[in-house]
Amino acid sequence: MWAWLFARHHGGKFILRIEDTDQKRFDPNALQTLMEALRWIGIDWDEGPEVGGDYGPYVQSERLEHYQQWARWLVDNGHAYYCYCSSERLAEVNKQKQAAGLPSGYDRRCRFASPQEIEQLAAECAAEGRKPVVRLKMPLEGETRFNDLVRGEVVFENKDVQDAVLLKADGFPTYHLAVVIDDYLMGITHITRAIEWLPSAPLHVTLWRAFGWEMPQYAHLPVMLNPNGKGKMSKRNPPRDAKGNIIPVMVHDYINGGYLPEALANFLIGVGWSFGDEREVFSVPEAIERFGDFSRISPANSALPAEKLEWLNGVYIREQLSLEDLAKRLKKPLQEAGLTVDDARLLKVAPIVQTRIRTLNDVVAMAGFFFHDTFKPPTAEQVIQKKMDAAITYRALEEAIPLLETVEPFTLEALHTVFSDLGQMLSLSNSQMFGVLRVAVTGQTVSTPTFETMEILGREETIARLRTVLGLL
């Protein structure tokens, strides 16, 4: 999201590239889901799948010839070498290193073998039906430094860095090789990626230098941690909120959960980045305006502020949506709950739920009753309010009916006055009197307010409902 804001701020191009070279982990359905999620939240791309561009294809598995060609170039020019070791040998090397208390990793046998030894190893490898991998010749001493846009100058000791595999035996590149070649060929100027890639950065810097290409700018960004601050958010091990409920990590869970794309965008942009002026609520265009550099990003990983999204979503529903827009968005959850939605009625319901719901889905529990085919009456216990009994509750409803028949006009204000007076006459507080009426007309204890609801239902429907409830008491 930040990379997109940065590109949009500078009038640059935002590129969507699909890195699918880890064939074991790649799920083709995931790509469609990912693109849907990006579009839903408002991220568009200037080049990439479904959009095209001058530097395609934008799917790495369709670019294998580039990687193979440049891997050969690296070997031919002394920056990389073929490694013929079997996975069994690599495992054995690691075991021995561990036993000797050394850090694990490849022992560089094939880098330093004599030409005769290489010939022998190559022959064995071929006889076993295996292909060699290509490994980077990482400098053995000295340091690799580069300037990170979030972290400033970063320094690595070369001796701590492995001769990483660049091209695998199956002809697929690793991330290290593919990302550098693609970033070069696609003319990338700025790379933003998660902090967990920082340890690989010296490999990439070494590759840029080996190729003799001008290196883009790197920004290694903080990641979102679980709400308790421990561990990175992951879908395999989903985080939980203070009450122990699972917090979804996939955008689709938020789409289905009744969240607004505007609120989720605001939320995601704000975790680890500050808008300034202590502002928590800002639009995407406002964030683009401010996102000229990476200086407002905190380098440290931040814990997910689990409650903030729901709060923000409520703010957007209350303050940012017109009633027409809100009504349009409420239709989907109501329909998905199996209700037949009348648009004119929904437009009347929208203002009375607007200040009371925090997700769009909340409308179903609170105001779904407006769209039931037949009235589902409450139980007697639900209608009877605090410090009341069945007799006085019955009386309140009984007296209410003739008043509903005659009150003019049938509006919120007039109803309020009439029933306030009735409550007084029966020695009931407004909360008791209005509570009885509210549960009676809505059929539920948590619902929209009494007189607004009556106004929408209309005189006849309101009276019919009270009569039904009266029969139950």
Rounded Cα–Cα distance for residues 380 and 368 (Å): 21
Nearer to Zn ion, 81 or 254 (CB): 81
CB of 109 to Zn ion, least distance (A): 5
Placement of tokens 């193979």 in the chain? 68
| Of the candidate residues 80, 85, 181, 360, the single one contacting Zn ion (CB under 5 A) | 85
Catalytic residue from among 95, 131, 235, 376: 235
- Asked if residue 420 lies in contact with residue 433, where contact means CB atoms within 8 angstroms, the answer is yes
Nearer to Zn ion, 71 or 317 (CB): 71
Q: Considering only 81-89, 167-175, 261-269, 361-369, which stretch makes contact with Zn ion by CB under 5 A?
A: 81-89
The verdict on whether omega for the bond into residue 238 sits within 30 degrees of 0, i.e. cis, is no
| Of the candidate residues 35, 71, 80, 83, the single one contacting Zn ion (CB under 5 A) | 83
CA angle 7, 11, 14 (to 5 degrees): 40
Instruction: List, in sequence order, every residue forming a beta bridge with 152; answer none if it has no partner.
Output: 148
Pairing of strands 190-194, 217-221: parallel
Nearer to Zn ion, 47 or 163 (CB): 163
Burial letters 236-251, b for 16+ CB under 10 A, else e: eeebeeeeeeeeebeb
| All residues at 6 or more sequence positions from 27 whose CB lies less than 8 Å from its CB, including other chains | none
Q: Considering only 59-67, 102-110, 169-177, 462-470, which stretch makes contact with Zn ion by CB under 5 A?
A: 102-110
Nearer to Zn ion, 85 or 339 (CB): 85
CB of 72 to Zn ion, least distance (A): 18
CB of 168 to Zn ion, least distance (A): 13
CB of 165 to Zn ion, least distance (A): 10
Rounded Cα–Cα distance for residues 110 and 113 (Å): 5
Q: Considering only 103-111, 150-158, 273-281, 330-338, which stretch makes contact with Zn ion by CB under 5 A?
A: 103-111
Total chain residues near Zn ion (CB under 5 A): 4
Rounded Cα–Cα distance for residues 246 and 235 (Å): 10
CB of 106 to Zn ion, least distance (A): 7
Q: Does residue 207 bind Zn ion (CB under 5 A)?
A: no
CB of 85 to Zn ion, least distance (A): 3
Q: Considering only 61-69, 110-118, 148-156, 290-298, which stretch makes contact with Zn ion by CB under 5 A?
A: 110-118
Residue 229 vs residues 266, 274, 280, 302: alpha-carbon distances, Å: 21, 19, 20, 7
- Asked if residue 442 lies in contact with residue 453, where contact means CB atoms within 8 angstroms, the answer is yes
Residue 460 vs residues 402, 438, 454, 457, 467: alpha-carbon distances, Å: 12, 16, 10, 8, 11
Instruction: List, in sequence order, every residue forming a beta bridge with 15; answer none if it has no partner.
Output: 47
Nearer to Zn ion, 84 or 394 (CB): 84
CB of 134 to Zn ion, least distance (A): 11
Q: Can 235 be counted among the known catalytic residues?
A: yes
Q: Does residue 269 bind Zn ion (CB under 5 A)?
A: no
Q: Considering only 84-92, 145-153, 252-260, 305-313, which stretch makes contact with Zn ion by CB under 5 A?
A: 84-92
Q: In the Cβ-directed half-sphere of 110, how many Cα atoms lie within 13 Å?
A: 26
Nearer to Zn ion, 110 or 201 (CB): 110
Instruction: List, in sequence order, every residue forming a beta bridge with 448; answer none if it has no partner.
Output: none
CB of 74 to Zn ion, least distance (A): 16
> Coil, helix or strand for 48?
strand
The verdict on whether omega for the bond into residue 57 sits within 30 degrees of 0, i.e. cis, is yes
Nearer to Zn ion, 81 or 294 (CB): 81
Q: Does residue 339 bind Zn ion (CB under 5 A)?
A: no
Residue 124 vs residues 85, 92, 112, 131, 214: alpha-carbon distances, Å: 10, 17, 17, 10, 39
| Of the candidate residues 3, 43, 110, 161, the single one contacting Zn ion (CB under 5 A) | 110
DSSP code of residue 196: G
Q: Considering only 42-50, 77-85, 237-245, 356-364, which stretch makes contact with Zn ion by CB under 5 A?
A: 77-85
Residue 225 vs residues 222, 280, 300, 422: alpha-carbon distances, Å: 9, 19, 10, 56
DSSP string, 131-177: --EEEE---SSSEEEEEETTTEEEEEEGGGS---EEE-TTSPBPHHH
CB of 286 to Zn ion, least distance (A): 54
Nearer to Zn ion, 118 or 470 (CB): 118
Nearer to Zn ion, 109 or 459 (CB): 109
Query: What residues between 368 and 387 interact with Zn ion by CB under 5 A?
Result: none
Rounded Cα–Cα distance for residues 437 and 468 (Å): 12
The amino acid that residue 278 corresponds to is: E
Active site residues: 235
Contact set with Zn ion (CB under 5 A): 83, 85, 109-110
